[in-house]
Amino acid sequence: MTSIRALGPEESFLVKLNPTVRKHPDPGTSPRPALAAHNGTDTAHALYDLAVKNPAWHPDDATTSHGWTQRELDHAADKLHRLGLFAPSDHTPSGWIALAPQHALGDLVQDFETQLAQFTTTLANTWENAYEVLTGYRTTYMTHHEDNRIHILDDPHHIKAALEKELSTTTSELLLQGTGDEFTRALTPTLHSLLDRGIQIRFVIRTATTHAPHAAQQLHHLLQNGAQGRSHPVLPLSFALIDHTTTLLHIPHDATTPQTPNPPPSRLLIAHSPVVNHILRTLFHHYWTHATPLTPQGTKSLKQHPPTTPPTDRTDPERQTDPGDPAPHQPPPPHDTHTTTLLHMLANGHTDQAISHHLGIHERTVRRKIAQLTTQLRANSRFQAGVNATKAGWLNNTTPTT
State the pLDDT confidence band at 182, using cuts at 50, 70 and 90.
low
- From 58-72, 129-143, 279-293, the region with the lowest mean pLDDT: 129-143
State the pLDDT confidence band at 88, using cuts at 50, 70 and 90.
very high
pLDDT of residue 399: 52
pTM over 0.95: no
pLDDT of residue 33: 37
Higher pLDDT, 365 or 201: 201
CATH number of 154-253+265-293: 3.30.870.10
Q: Side-chain half-sphere of 260: how many Cα atoms within 13 Å?
A: 9
CA distances in angstroms from 321 to 247, 290, 315, 378, listed in the order given: 43, 23, 11, 12
Higher pLDDT, 130 or 73: 73
What is the tens place of the pLDDT at every residue in 292-318? 898 775 444 433 344 333 333 433 333
Chain-centroid distance of CA 310 in Å reads: 44
Please, are residues 326 and 377 in contact by the beta-carbon 8 Å criterion?
yes
Cα 176-165-227 angle, rounded to 5 deg: 30
pLDDT of residue 80: 93
Residue 83 has pLDDT above 60, yes or no: yes
Mean pLDDT for the chain? 74
Please, are residues 251 and 266 in contact by the beta-carbon 8 Å criterion?
yes
Is 324-402 a domain of CATH 1.10.10.10? yes
Phi and psi, residue 205, nearest 5°: -125, 155
Residue 173 has pLDDT above 60, yes or no: yes
What is the tens place of the pLDDT at every residue in 41-79? 789 999 999 999 999 999 998 888 889 999 999 999 999
Q: What is the 3-state secondary structure (H, E, C) of the chain?
A: CCCCCCCCHHHHHHHHHCCCCCCCCCCCCCCCCCCCCCCHHHHHHHHHHHHHHCCCCCHHHHHHHHCCCHHHHHHHHHHHHHHCCEEECCCCCCCEEECCHHHHHHHHHHHHHHHHHHHHHHHHHHHHHHHHHHHHHHHHHHHHHHHHHEEEECCHHHHHHHHHHHHCCCCCEEEEEECCCHHHHHCHHHHHHHHHCCCEEEEEEEHHHHCCHHHHHHHHHHHHCCCEEEEECCCCCEEEEECCCEEEEEECCCCCCCCCCCCCCCEEEEECCHHHHHHHHHHHHHHHHCCEEECCCCCECCCCCCCCCCCECCCCCCCECCCCCCCCCCCCCCCCHHHHHHHHHHHCCCCHHHHHHHHCCCHHHHHHHHHHHHHHCCCCCHHHHHHHHHHCCCCCCCCCCC
Read off the pLDDT of each residue in 262-272 and give the average, rounded to a whole number: 77
Residue 171, Cβ density class (10 Å: 0-12 exposed, 13-18 middle, ≥19 buried)? exposed
Higher pLDDT, 24 or 75: 75
Residue 355 has pLDDT above 50, yes or no: yes
Residue 4 has pLDDT above 50, yes or no: no
pLDDT of residue 71: 92
Read off the pLDDT of each residue in 231-258 and give the average, rounded to a whole number: 80
State the pLDDT confidence band at 175, using cuts at 50, 70 and 90.
very high
